[in-house]
């Protein structure tokens, strides 16, 4: 297992290095003067020179890369051109709402979707199966902002159970945090419940006809044990892939949902940086996104070997 883990970590290193080179060249290879692109058309020569100096554009490109990469290894992602604050500090400020929302969304999605998918596979061809698949189709079809506004209208405005918008850190109490995180989490979970339920149904349905499932039933095991211990575990690999990919997507920012519920997360930070042409923040967000995807894929690969030990060989 340790050898397999070490090999997977080594395989992720070239990916991260490639992303780092791409992010570095993102600004340097942009057509035109990068300083003029950042400063705008009304910039004075003194402002352009100051930007070139601050970005190190007056040095050879190889020297620029190694200087930038050395700072990157120390956790220095640069300074925002708009707010003049460290990019790492801006990301740290905005990442807590996104991570909290992503974790709650995935927990809700898995808790609802996996039992529904197993139940639909167990009762394949019945009204239960058709009902679960109908719910999945609806979850895929309805845009997320429509679901968000429906939940706001019903639960926040009509019933007054939850606030309309805002975010509270979990450090200020679980109650205030859940009070403002439930609606956006349910909004996002509507999509992932549909996706995970369909994948769980298809995977479990595929293994229900295997010999080990028939053997487990022949031994007199309870149907619940057969479904969740034998069938679901052997069907878990594709389900884990969907869950991990969905979590990575949530972490990298869900702009629409964060805008609807006024959540200061990573998605809004990325959009604001793009609109303001704040290149250091954009570069930092690309690095963060790539790192999260590599880390999540690594965790997914390692989890495969837990459910199917043959994978490590």
Predicted confidence (pLDDT) per residue in 174-196, tens digit = 887 888 788 888 888 888 888 88
User: What pLDDT shows up at residue 1?
Assistant: 64
From CA 252, how far away is CA 16, in angstroms rounded? 16
Ordered structural domains, the chain, with CATH: 2-73 (no CATH), 87-312 (1.10.3720.10)
Q: How many CB atoms lie within 10 A of CB 29?
A: 10
User: What pLDDT shows up at residue 213?
Assistant: 73
Residue with tokens 């403002």: 180
Predicted confidence (pLDDT) per residue in 84-142, tens digit = 778 888 888 888 888 888 888 888 888 888 888 888 887 877 888 788 888 888 777 77
User: What pLDDT shows up at residue 40?
Assistant: 63
User: What pLDDT shows up at residue 309?
Assistant: 64
User: What pLDDT shows up at residue 37?
Assistant: 62
- Give me the residues of the chain with pLDDT under 50, please: none
């Amino acid at each position: 297992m340790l050898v397999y883990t070490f090999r997977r970590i080594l395989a992720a290193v070239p990916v991260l290095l490639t992303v780092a080179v791409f992010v570095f060249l993102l600004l340097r290879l942009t057509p035109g003067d990068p300083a003029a692109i950042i400063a705008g058309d009304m910039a004075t020569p003194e402002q352009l020179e100051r930007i070139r100096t601050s970005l190190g554009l007056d040095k050879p490109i190889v020297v620029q890369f190694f200087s930038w990469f050395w700072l990157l290894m120390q956790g220095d992602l640069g300074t925002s051109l708009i707010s003049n604050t460290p990019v790492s500090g801006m990301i740290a400020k905005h990442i807590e709402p996104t991570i909290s929302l992503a974790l709650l969304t995935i927990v809700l999605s898995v808790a609802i979707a996996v039992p529904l998918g197993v139940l639909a596979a167990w009762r394949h061809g019945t009204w239960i199966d058709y009902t679960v698949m109908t719910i999945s189709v609806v979850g895929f079809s309805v845009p997320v902002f429509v679901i968000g506004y429906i939940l706001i209208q019903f639960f926040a405005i009509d019933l007054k159970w939850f606030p309309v918008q805002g975010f509270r850190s979990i450090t200020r109490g679980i109650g205030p945090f859940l009070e403002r995180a439930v609606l956006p989490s349910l909004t996002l979970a509507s999509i992932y419940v549909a996706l995970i339920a369909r994948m769980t149904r298809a995977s479990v349905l595929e293994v229900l006809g295997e010999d080990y499932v028939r053997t487990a039933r022949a031994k007199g095991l309870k149907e619940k044990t057969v479904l969740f211990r034998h069938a679901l575990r052997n069907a878990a690999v594709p389900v884990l892939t969907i869950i991990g990919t969905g979590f990575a997507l949530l972490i990298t920012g869900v702009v629409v949902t964060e805008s609807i519920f006024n959540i200061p997360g990573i998605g809004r930070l990325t959009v604001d940086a793009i609109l303001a042409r704040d290149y250091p923040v954009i570069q930092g967000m690309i690095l963060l996104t790539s790192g999260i995807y590599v880390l999540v894929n690594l965790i997914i690969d390692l989890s495969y070997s837990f459910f199917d030990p043959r994978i490590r060989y």
